Structures are given as structure tokens and as C-alpha cells.
């Protein structure tokens, strides 16, 4: 099967678009968050440190190889790019990685609780379970080490006290849409528990099996099974 990647211009434009959406949806504040997109099996475009994701320009972006060496660009990448590189190293099928701090999902990360629920079909089909990695100091080697165990079995991971990381084999828009789904799923779970508690209706084991079968037919072969 031939691997298909966007060309440099398309990748840069898509990164800028995702950055604008992240900022407009308040998934990031100030200069938070980072985005990467593969353009070949061993090269990626990434966002710079110290620049708002809502106001980036093409000239701000950086081209790197998967060893972390800069190929093109005048700015520096964030130290958090190491967790992006780790995702690509753990699964070479991944084509894009997105990191942000959406509020509701970050509440789960602060509580060190996975997003694991049977109440929303879209969450089960498009995402599955979102585990929570242990709390470590951002920018250190501990961050990529903490997320590595989850890459091959899930579509996203909560970073302990530090937001969300999503990835995709399909490309940057799916990685971004998974970020949207994580946040929506987290918000629904929190409100459902707040207003209805144990009275919330949940899918049965048989129904979960059917939803996972739908997920598999869509070509999403990871995500885990909600408990």
C-alpha cells in the first residue's frame, strides 16, 4: 500500500488552519499547544515555540526529521515536540499529532481520570477510551516516556495535569477532530454526572460490541473498550 502525504505547502496551510481553530475554540491560551504533520515517512512540519497558534504564519513553521534535526525554518520548535516525535517513532503509520489544553478534558487530566464512558456513541466509535498518563514536568524527557505505552492502543491520551495529545493515521484534520471529540466527550460526561449522577443511561455490553464493530468498519482499529 502506497503511503500518501500532503506536500509542503498543503501541510503548512493545514497546520495554520488547525492552529486557528484551536485558538478560536479556546482549546489553547496565549502561546500554548503544538501541531505536527508528516510530509514524508521521516519528515514533518511543526509549530514554533512562543507564537500563538491563532496567529501563526507560514514563515513561522519548522521542517524537521524524526531525529529532531531542523531542516528548514528560522524559529525554534517547542520542547514538547519530543512527544510528537515519540508518537511517530512508536507507530510509523501516524501522520499527524496535535496537543492542546481544552478545558473540560484538562479537568480529567488534573484529576488523573481517564475519559472512559458508555454514554455517547460518537465517543465510543470515533475515539474509544482516553487514558491518562502520569503527571510529569512539561518539556522533559519524562513526557514522551509517559505517553509511549498508549500510542499503539489508543487514539488520544490525557497528559497528567497538562491537556490532551491526539494523533491520526489519516492526517492532520482527523487528529484535530479527535481533539474536538475528546473535549466534547469530556464536557458531556461532566455535565451528565453533575445533573443526573447514577441515573445516566449507559450502553450495554452487547451494544458496546456493536459500536466497536462500527468503529472497526470505519478503519479505526484502536481505542480500547469502555468499562
Answer with the residue of higher pLDDT: 151 or 1: 151
Would 44 be classed as within a structural domain?
yes
The CATH code of the domain that includes 54 is 3.40.225.10
CB contact set of 162 (below 8 Å; sequence gap of 6+): 101, 106, 109, 135, 138
Mean local confidence (pLDDT), 35-54: 98
Q: Name the percent of the chain lying above pLDDT 70.
A: 99
Give the three cell numbers for residue 51: 507564537
Number of domains comprising the chain: 1
Whether the per-residue pLDDT at 1 is higher than 50: the answer is: no
Whether the per-residue pLDDT at 138 is higher than 80: the answer is: yes
Would 159 be classed as within a structural domain?
yes
Would 227 be classed as within a structural domain?
no
Mean local confidence (pLDDT), 136-160: 97
CB contact set of 155 (below 8 Å; sequence gap of 6+): 127, 128, 130, 166, 167, 168, 178, 220, 222, 223
Would 225 be classed as within a structural domain?
no
Mean local confidence (pLDDT), 155-182: 98
Range(s) of the domain holding residue 48: 8-217
Q: What is the pLDDT of residue 152?
A: 97
Whether the per-residue pLDDT at 218 is higher than 70: the answer is: yes
pTM score, whole prediction: 0.95
Would 76 be classed as within a structural domain?
yes
Would 29 be classed as within a structural domain?
yes
Would 222 be classed as within a structural domain?
no
User: What integer best gives the mean pLDDT of the chain?
Assistant: 96
pLDDT in tens, 112-134: 999 999 999 999 999 999 999 99
pLDDT in tens, 169-192: 999 999 999 999 999 999 999 999
Amino acid at each position: 500500500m502506497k503511503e500518501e502525504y500532503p506536500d509542503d505547502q498543503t501541510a503548512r496551510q493545514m497546520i495554520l488552519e488547525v492552529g486557528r481553530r484551536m485558538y478560536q475554540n479556546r482549546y489553547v491560551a496565549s502561546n500554548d499547544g503544538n501541531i505536527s504533520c508528516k510530509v514524508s515517512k521521516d519528515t514533518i512540519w511543526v509549530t514554533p515555540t512562543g507564537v500563538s497558534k491563532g496567529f501563526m504564519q507560514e514563515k513561522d513553521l519548522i521542517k524537521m526529521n524524526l531525529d529532531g534535526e531542523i531542516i528548514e525554518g528560522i524559529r525554534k520548535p517547542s520542547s514538547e515536540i519530543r512527544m510528537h516525535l515519540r508518537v511517530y517513532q512508536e507507530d510509523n503509520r501516524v501522520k499527524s499529532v496535535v496537543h492542546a489544553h481544552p478545558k473540560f478534558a484538562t479537568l480529567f487530566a488534573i484529576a488523573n481520570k481517564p475519559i472512559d464512558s458508555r454514554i455517547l456513541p460518537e465517543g465510543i466509535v470515533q475515539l474509544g477510551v482516553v487514558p491518562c498518563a502520569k503527571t510529569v514536568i512539561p518539556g522533559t524527557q519524562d513526557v514522551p516516556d509517559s505517553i509511549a505505552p498508549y500510542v499503539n492502543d489508543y487514539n488520544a491520551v490525557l497528559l497528567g495535569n497538562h491537556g490532551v495529545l491526539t494523533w491520526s493515521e489519516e492526517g492532520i484534520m482527523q487528529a484535530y477532530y479527535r481533539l474536538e471529540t475528546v473535549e466534547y466527550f469530556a464536557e458531556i460526561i461532566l455535565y451528565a454526572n453533575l445533573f443526573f449522577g447514577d441515573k445516566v443511561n449507559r450502553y450495554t455490553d452487547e451494544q458496546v460490541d456493536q459500536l466497536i464493530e462500527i468503529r472497526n468498519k470505519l478503519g479505526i482499529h484502536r481505542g480500547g473498550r469502555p468499562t
